[in-house]
Amino acid sequence: MSTTAASTKPVDPSVKVVTDATCTFCGCVCDDIDISVKDNHIIEAKRACVMGKAWFLNHHADDRPSCLIEGKPASVAEGVERAARILTEARYPIIYGLSDTTSEAQRVAVHIGDLIAGTVDTTTSVCHGPSGMAFQSAGEVTCTLGEIANRGDLIIFWGGNPAENHPRHFTKYSLMPKGMFLPNGRKDRTAVAIDVRNTKTAKAMDLFFQVKPRSDFECLWTLRALAKGIDLDPAVVKKDTGIELARWQDLMARMKACKFGVILFGMGLTMTRGKHLNSEALLSLARDMNAFTRFVVKPMRGHGNVTGADNVVTWSTGYPFGVNMSRGYPRFNPGEYTTSDTLARNEADAAMIIASDPMANFSQPARERLASIPYIALDPKDTPTTRAATVAFTTATYGINTAGTVYRMDDVPIFLRPAFESPHPSDFDVLTAIKHRVMELTNQQ
Amino acid sequence: MAETFILVPGRTSKQGCGVSEGKFTDGYQKEISSLQVADEDMKRYGLVNGDKVRITTESGRQVDLAVITAPAKELPSGMLFLAYGDLSSILMDGDTHGTGMPTSKGMDVTMEKL
Amino acid sequence: MYDPLHGVDGQVRDIWIRDGRIVDAPSDPAVRPDKVLDAAGLVVMPGGVDMHCHIAGPKVNAARKMRPEEKRKAEHIMRTSKTRSGTMGSTPSTFATGYKYAGMGYTTAFDAATPPLAARHVHEELEDTPCIDKGFFVLMGNNHYIMRSIQRKEPERLKTFIAWLLGAAKGYAPKLVNPGGVEVWKQLPSGNVHGLDENVEHYDVTPRQIIEATARGANELKLPHPVHIHANNLGMPGNWATTLETMKTLGDTRGHLTHIQFHSYGGGVGDQDTFNSKVVELAEYVNTHPNLTIDVGQVLFGKTTSMTGDGPLGYYLSNIYHTKWFSADVEMEAGCGIAPIEYRDKSLVHSLQWAIGLEWYLLVKDPWRVAMSTDHPNGGSFLAYPQIIQLLMDRTFREEAIKQVHPAVRERSTLAELTREYTLYEICIITRSGPAKILGLANKGHLGPGADADITIYMPNDDKRVMFEMPRFVIKDGRVIVEQGEIREVTTGKLLHVAPGYDTSIETDIAEWFEKYYSVRFRNYPVSDDYLHDHEIIGCG
């Protein structure tokens, strides 16, 4: 979509420099990376974190075939034909993944789901899906990351470990930056971690609450009670949460006294017993705090464009993930139309997996089902999912080889400046070809 | 001996890098198959880095893993950590309790020295 | 045929169309058309133009995400061989939105509140909103660069920035939402401004200064629709005084006050018993000041979603109705508040809101300066326009409706005394010709040569609601896209935006500003041409 632009003159004329490029590895979507490209290899990714560097430096033009059918090299056209037939001949086809591709490709994938009366689900369902459900019951008080940088003077990380998983979040957005109302950066902030593990994140904080495992719900409701001035029994609080009541009271006093409080939360809440109820308690706590001061909350999203997937699926169908269109119109029901369930219950009879790796990440019953049905996989990399696919497309990497749009974890849309051309087609191209063939096979426009 | 622990699988930087470097590389495979155990639990079990243990979930799912001492006191006694990947997935049940999300953290498991 | 711009009031005429445009009838009588649509006995109007609705972007999508409970029981938008499936409720999915507008005879719609940082999102959604032409207004009333320019008394810089920002977002018009108030909301617990002369800390500017300076700058740029104002104190009893002050602040510069129904209340703050209509006073001011235009923001009874760039308003509403609440502060630029709402005909406040909206239609003398809107979905769905038309055209129906609502409406508004009935000609003005003119769209809202061939053809009916709910034909760019409410052909529609010229030397300063305070790089902020599907630049001046 956009063209690459080199604003600084490289010393080596065979090295192309792309400035202000975007890293799509995690939900931080850092758009300040300067990448140097030589012979279709990225040799440097300035300002990228350790995972960003691994992302940029390990995506080169792979010499694998662009398409494999049952493990044998095939043309992309043959792959498209087979893919379209698999999807149109199935009774319960599912489309899954989508969090590591452009929103332009996501839009085509949702369209295919509509054409085949299929089910569309994204990696959100096994990430912050429960937070999405909590959003539907409580709402959410939130902001863009720049607001946190400019105003956030009390930062609470709950059930997440950004020091390992979103390495630049601290420096760019949440902990270190000197903002409009925080001229001294880190010194103007109080940082708190609440977690079951004493992680790298916890060690970078001013306060750490090492809570009892599986007690997030109780911890959050302790804080909600304290916010409302309700008396609690110290012995019960200690037993339920593993933390002295006095420490919770101290934290609540800080939360009420700050000017702009922020809670950033991870999958410690959503993947643990309680799931959406944990997230709902947290969203509610952040809302409650607005009676005293300004307070916001934000889920820390993992994949580069998982937020885009939520947005695209929502604007197309009205629902954020786990959408079934088998009756000709969209229906939503987590636990019923979500991929872990449609696979583990042996309901799905064909699948198209885009830019994700359920054969590595899903529960054993779900993986066994996926391995037993015909499915299509699109991925730049060789993964357990591409290896077991009926049709596997090797696609160009978004942000490195292709332009397009990604949505940062705070819903800010950012466009991509590709570094070099891939010999492989993009997800968008493959999906568009499949869409057209599906239209022909089903007599739809 | 086989005591009950709480297993908390999660992401790590190394596992994250491995996604880009390749899931079939030695580094990634090592990261996702090393079980972190608290120092005091290592001692109580008489484990040293590299020893093998068998992890069994309440529903009987089982994997054998090499242990390493959890770095920098990250884990309290009684808790285990494993980077996300194939082996942590083996331990996950298919049921999502109506949420779409399998319980992937905070699982009750027993650990047995092999 | 009804073409108020050319004074055509129900006369029988032919319309010739070529290449998507209306053209003069050929002078050579031997020229025959390729295709003839016989509209004898039918009512022909330009396609409808909705100048203020919330149909795309982060706020609308957050409402979609937040409200699954509305959708299961709502009408199902089924996939057909030509159209996509979708969902309804108060915030329909994008495809459903396009089909429903077209199905009702509307061919153009403008989203009213886009934070420029999220402009790409709006462009993506608008491309997925088929059948209609569209554009969006760019939130500026709490933009820090604008406030700083006012603080530093740099009107030229402010004007240049407006031009740059509209071009960067590929938007249509500057929009002020609770100017200054959203920034105070970001700074303080339950923060807001309550009058035009309250101070906005950090920049030491007032809402009055923001309105005055932005309106002047935008008018100097000769923008087709210079400034679109959601005034301070929306929804508050007694807010009419703020609204009147806002109008006065504009002096004789062109300005549009939006969803004015929500800004026309008398009474004391926090005192429901004194809540009353102040439309008579405000309409008198509008009637005597031709620089002002309004859209109504009509309230209709039933469940809907309140969504606004007015962050503190969302908090206020969710607290009084005890609902879920979404709020999103956008760095350096804007806010957002969303809460479910139900307007009840047994409620004094809601009944008065309903009446106040109707008073506005009936008390503004010049229909060219009052546009139909529900502030979709805030007052109700855009799908309620036919119902509003019936209320305006049919006095007997209106009197029956007044009997159904809270009796205090008779004492606290003038609605029951108003006998005016709109004619078809006037309806044509407030639903298409007027909004097109207010927006500065020379090719919309009329049927003269050069106009886009966007035409709606209705079956005459004494029941005006039935007549306007289901047009017989809808023609977009010369193609029949709807027949009898059914989509016959799907078009993408085009994006309407402005591209005012400006002195590019300002970019150095804006870039510095970005590197200091924004979380995205300056170069990654402007929307590139790649995001434009079919589009048209509407010229300035």
B100/A126 touch (CB, cutoff 8 Å), yes or no: yes
Q: Is the pLDDT at C269 greater than 90, yes or no?
A: no
Fold for the domain defined by A67-127+304-401+422-442: Rossmann fold (3.40.50)
Task: Note whether A216 contacts B: Cβ–Cβ < 8 A.
Answer: no
CA distances from C205 to B16, C146, C499 (A): 47, 10, 28
Query: Coil, helix or strand for A393?
Result: strand
Tens-digit pLDDT profile for residues B78-108: 999 999 999 999 999 989 999 999 989 999 9
Backbone phi and psi for residue C237, each to the nearest 5 degrees, phi listed first? -55, 140
- What local confidence, expressed as pLDDT, does residue C245 receive? 98
Angstrom distance (rounded) from CA C485 to CA C472: 7
- H/E stretch holding A11: none
Q: A57 with A67: CB under 8 angstroms?
A: no
What is the per-residue pLDDT for A63?
Answer: 81
Find chain A residues with C-beta within 8 A of C120's C-beta. Answer: 405, 413-415
Alpha carbon C113 to its chain centroid, in Å, reads 9
Sequence-distant contacts of C91-94: CB under 8 A, at least 24 apart: C91/C54, C91/C60, C91/C63, C91/C64, C91/C67, C91/C305, C91/C307, C91/C377, C92/A318, C93/A314, C93/A315, C93/A316, C93/A317, C93/A318, C93/A330, C93/C64, C94/A315, C94/A316, C94/C55, C94/C56, C94/C125, C94/C126, C94/C128, C94/C129
Please tell me what DSSP assigns to residue A396.
P
In what side-by-side order are the strands of the sheet with A41-46?
A: A15-21, A33-38, A41-46
Look at phi and psi of residue B71 and say left if phi exceeds 0, alpha if psi is from -120 to 50, else beta: beta
Phi-psi region of B93 (alpha: psi -120 to 50; beta: other; left: phi over 0): beta
As a whole number of angstroms, the distance between CA C202 and CA A181 comes to: 9
Of C196, C200, C203, the residue nearest C149 (C-alpha): C203
Structure token digits, residue C298: 């009509």
B96 has a chain A CB within 8 A of its CB: yes
- SS3 string, C98-122, reads HHHHHHCCEEEEEEEEECHHHHHHH
Our CA-based measurement puts residue A62 at a distance from the nearest CA of chain B, in whole angstroms, of 12
SS3 C304: strand
Q: Assign domain B2-113 to a CATH class.
A: mainly beta
DSSP letter, residue A13: T
* pLDDT score of A113 more than 70: yes
CA distance A368 to C435: 59
Q: What are the residue ranges spanned by the domains of chain A?
A: 67-127+304-401+422-442, 129-299
Sign of CA dihedral A123, A127, A129, A131: negative
The one-letter amino acid at A196: V
Cα atoms in the 13 Å half-sphere on the side-chain side of A285: 31
What does the buried/exposed string (b/e) look like for C421-447 if buried means 16 or more CB atoms within 10 Å of the residue's CB?
ebebbbbbbbbbbbbbbbbbbbbbbbb
Biggest alpha carbon–alpha carbon distance for chain A: 71
pLDDT along chain B (114 residues), means of 10: 91 91 92 96 96 96 96 93 94 92 93 95
| DSSP character at residue A119 | E
Across the A/B interface, how many CB contacts are shorter than 8 Å? 158
pLDDT tens-digit series, residues A78-94 = 999 999 999 999 999 99
Task: Select from C79, C325, C519 the Cβ nearest to the Cβ of A141.
Answer: C325
| Residues ≥6 apart with Cβ < 8 Å to C71 | A318, A319, A330, A332, C87, C88, C89
Domain ranges for chain B, please list them.
2-113
- Whether A272 and A266 have beta carbons less than 8 Å apart is answered as no
Asked whether the bond before C115 is cis by omega within 30 degrees of 0, the reply is no
In chain C, which residues have their Cβ closer than 8 Å to the Cβ of A145? 331, 519
Q: Is A411 on the interface with C (CB under 8 A)?
A: yes
pLDDT in tens, C205-246: 999 999 999 999 999 999 999 999 999 999 999 999 999 999
pLDDT at C72: 87
> Of the given ranges (B103-107, C249-253, C271-275), which has the lowest mean pLDDT?
C271-275
**Chain B: residue nearest A198 by CA?**
B74
Using DSSP, state whether A414 is helix, strand or coil: strand
CA–CA gap between residue C264 and residue C235 (Å, rounded): 8
Whether A331 and C95 lie within 8 Å, measured CB to CB: no
Say how far apart CA A142 and CA C16 lie, in whole Å.
Answer: 52
For A119-162, the pLDDT digits (tens) are: 999 999 999 999 999 999 999 999 999 999 999 999 999 999 99
Work out the minimum CA distance from A201 to partner chain B, whole angstroms. 10
Mean pLDDT on C365-391: 98
Res A2 pLDDT > 70: no
- At C428-459, the pLDDT tens digits run 999 999 999 999 999 999 999 999 999 999 99
Task: State the Cα torsion A105-C537-C449-C19 to the nearest 10°.
Answer: -30
Q: What is the pLDDT of residues A301-353, one digit of tens each?
A: 999 999 999 999 999 999 999 999 999 999 999 999 999 999 999 999 999 99
Q: According to the CATH classification, is domain A129-299 in 3.40.50.410?
A: no
Q: Is the Cβ pair A317, C85 closer than 8 Å?
A: yes
Q: What is the pLDDT of residues A143-155, one digit of tens each?
A: 999 999 999 999 9
- Which positions in chain C touch A179 (Cβ < 8 Å)? 517
- Could you say which DSSP state residue C200 is in? B
Which value, in Å, is the radius of gyration of the alpha carbons in chain A?
Answer: 23
Q: Does A160 touch chain B (CB under 8 A)?
A: no
Pull the structure tokens for residue A379.
């991925």
Q: Are A35 and A21 in contact (CB under 8 A)?
A: yes
Judge whether B5 is closer than 8 Å to chain A, CB to CB.
no
Distance separating alpha carbons of residues C182 and C336, to the nearest angstrom: 9
Angle formed by the axes of helices A245-257 and A216-227, to 10°? 60
Whether the CB-CB separation of C8 and C447 falls below 8 Å is answered with: yes
> Residue C106: beta bridge partners?
C48
- Please tell me the total number of residues recorded for chain B in this structure: 114
What per-residue confidence (pLDDT) applies to B53?
97
Q: Which of C160, C149, C255, C155 is nearest to C205 (CA)?
A: C149
Q: What is the mean pLDDT of residues C100-119?
A: 98
For A281, C318, C338, C486, the CA distances from A138, given in Å and listed in that order, are 9, 11, 12, 37
* pLDDT, position A211: 97
Structure token digits, residue A163 = 């020091």
B39 Cβ contact partners less than 8 Å away, ≥ 6 residues apart? B69, B70, B73
Using pLDDT thresholds of 50, 70 and 90, give the confidence band for residue A61: low
Is the model's pLDDT at A9 over the cut of 90? no
Residue B54: C-alpha distances to residues A37, B7, B57 (Å): 46, 13, 10
pLDDT digits (tens, 9 = 90+) for C80-96: 999 999 999 999 999 99
Q: Is the pLDDT of residue A10 over 60?
A: no
pLDDT at C238: 95
Beta-carbon separation of A181 and C202 below 8 A: yes
H helices, E strands: number in chain A: 18, 20
Which pLDDT score is estimated for C541? 83
Contact criterion met (CB below 8 Å) for A318 and B79 = no
Q: Would you state the pLDDT for residue A59?
A: 82
CB C518 within 8 A of CB A149: no
User: Hey, is the C-beta of A150 within 8 angstroms of any chain C C-beta?
Assistant: yes
The per-residue pLDDT for A4 is 45
Least CB-CB distance to A136: which of C68, C490, C519?
Answer: C68
What whole-number percentage of chain C has pLDDT above 90?
Answer: 97
Cβ–Cβ under 8 Å, residues A125 and A340: yes
Query: Distance of CA C436 to CAs A15, A299, C138, Å?
Result: 52, 42, 18
Q: Output the six-digit token pair for C403.
A: 């009997």
Q: How many residues does chain A have?
A: 445
pLDDT tens track for C387-428: 999 999 999 999 999 999 999 999 999 999 999 999 999 999
The average pLDDT across A67-87 equals 98
The pLDDT mean for chain C works out to: 97
Give the angle C396-C400-C404 at the CA atoms, nearest 5°: 165
Least CB–CB distance from C118: residue in A180, A316, A413: A413
Question: C519 φ, ψ to 5°?
Answer: -95, 0
Query: Which one-letter amino acid corresponds to residue C320?
Result: I
Query: A328: which residues sit within 8 A by CB, 6+ positions away?
Result: A117, C76, C78, C79, C85
Those chains having 3 or more beta-carbon pairs within 8 angstroms of chain B are A
Q: Which residues of chain C make contact with A316, given a CB cutoff of 8 A?
A: 84, 86, 93-95, 128
Q: Per-residue pLDDT tens for C18-45?
A: 999 999 999 999 999 999 999 999 999 9
Residues 6+ apart with CB under 8 A from A296: A141, A142, A143, A147, A148, A152, A260, A261, A262, A263, A286, C327, C329
Q: Which residues of B touch A268 (CB under 8 A)?
A: 10, 105
Mutate to test the interface with A, among C66, C190, C516, C519 (most CBs of A within 10 A): C519
| Residue numbers in B near A197 (CB within 8 A) | 8, 10, 74-75, 79, 81
B9 CB-near residues (< 8 Å, 6+ apart):
B81, B82, B83, B84, B88, B91, B104, B105, B107
Residues A129, C164 contacting (CB under 8 angstroms): no
